[in-house]
Amino acid sequence: MKRIFSGVKPTGHLTLGNYLGAVRRWVEVDQHRADALFSVVDLHALTVEHDPARVRRLSRQAATLLMAAGLDPELCTLFVQSHVDEHARLSYLLECTATDGELRRMIQYKEKSVRAQAAGQGVRLSLLTYPVLMAADILAYGADEVPVGEDQTQHVELTRDLAVRFNQRYGHTFTVPRATRPEVAARVMDLQDPTSKMGKSHENGAGIVYLLDDADTVRRKIMRAVTDSGRDVEYDREAGPGVANLLDLLAAATGGNPEALAGVYETYGSLKKDTADAVVELLRPVRERHAELAADPGQVDLVLRDGARRARETARPLVDRAYRAIGLLPAG
Ligand code: TYM
């Protein structure tokens, strides 16, 4: 059976981008067809300026939302990264496999380190080593596939490189994973700035649909989305990124095809209205289920505890094998 690993980091409230780019597929496809593990990767949330209480709150909220979206602990393993020591253990071995140069080339490192410096904050060393920890997340479970949005492609490529390099130097230890992406909405764009990704830690929330936004808020954000200067509804991500983004959202929410949908609409207004309605309906059950689950946090905690136990059992032997392969003396 295939093994799948993916994760979401609790740096902000989960967005429609997270849902369409990753979570929805985990729920609808991945957990049914593979031995799938999904993690709230909280250690990754410490790589930039953070508030401890907020990270803790967002971690529980993310886990609750993943269950509300439909991850089923009977079908998959859901856990919090910091509950399983194997991630940090393996990360160090991979730091001894990666080079400084290849980490400095990572696009997200470049972007986020510039942002931290502009805000007068130091760049945490862990921001540089972030992709190594991400590689450890994946390799510790021998994952074959990593379902992610488009922005994670470079990180999964690095994971592959590290796995191959480790295997060549120290003997076959790791499965070389591959990224999988959704056909539509692999990169949902910000509604106010459709040339940049809809990201949960973006400053201005007006262009971001959060999974917990109420129906009126979702509708307002989509109706106010920036569109392009042209008049025709065309699917052209370069020339008309705002309209293309709306078509992607509508297609993802209704199961249609963005190019075909472009032919159906004459005005931006009607496209926005239908997109808003479709997204509201898509998110309604998630929000409702979240409210039920949030009323009983003990249930979520139990799922996470059991998930961590299962994750540990899976990762432990593989990480132990890597420790031996790289030359460390086994503890008696
Ligand atoms: P994160 O928390 O930023 O995002 C979680 C998932 O959502 C996808 N995503 C998007 N997809 C489409 N459009 C968007 N606007 C959008 N925004 C986010 C992301 O691609 C991701 O799949 N580094 C990862 C977390 C991570 C991880 C891992 C993922 C840590 N270790 C191991 C997979 C395997 C991240 O920051 O995701």
Least confident among 71-75, 108-112, 202-206, 236-240:
202-206
Question: Which residues does 153 contact at the CB level (< 8 Å), separation at least 6?
Answer: 179, 181
Q: What confidence score (pLDDT) does residue 27 get?
A: 98
> What is the per-residue pLDDT across 315-332, written as a single tens digit (0 to 9) for each?
999 999 999 999 999 987
Interior CA angle at 263 toward 258 and 265, to 5°? 95
274 is in an annotated binding site: no
Kindly report the average pLDDT of the chain as a whole number: 96
Counting residues of the chain whose pLDDT is more than 90, the rounded percentage is 96
112 catalytic residue (yes or no): yes
For residue 133, the ligand 1 atom closest to its alpha carbon is 31
CA 180 to ligand 1 centroid distance, Å: 12
The rounded distance, in Å, linking the Cα atoms of 261 and 159 is 37
Average pLDDT over residues 33-58: 97
Q: Which residue has the tokens 């004459």?
A: 266
Is 113 close to ligand 1, i.e. is its CB under 6 Å away? no
pLDDT at 232 over 90: no
> What is the per-residue pLDDT across 129-168, written as a single tens digit (0 to 9) for each?
999 999 999 999 999 999 999 999 999 999 999 999 999 9
9 is in an annotated binding site: yes
Average pLDDT over residues 89-107: 98
Is 212 close to ligand 1, i.e. is its CB under 6 Å away? no
Is 130 close to ligand 1, i.e. is its CB under 6 Å away? no
More confident residue, 252 or 203: 252
Distance of CA 249 to the CA centre of its chain: 17
Domains and CATH numbers, the chain: 3-182+297-326 (3.40.50.620), 205-291 (1.10.240.10)
Q: Which of 110, 112, 221, 273 is catalytic?
A: 112
221 is in an annotated binding site: no
Per-residue confidence at 203, pLDDT binned at 50, 70, 90? low
The rounded distance, in Å, linking the Cα atoms of 195 and 212 is 24
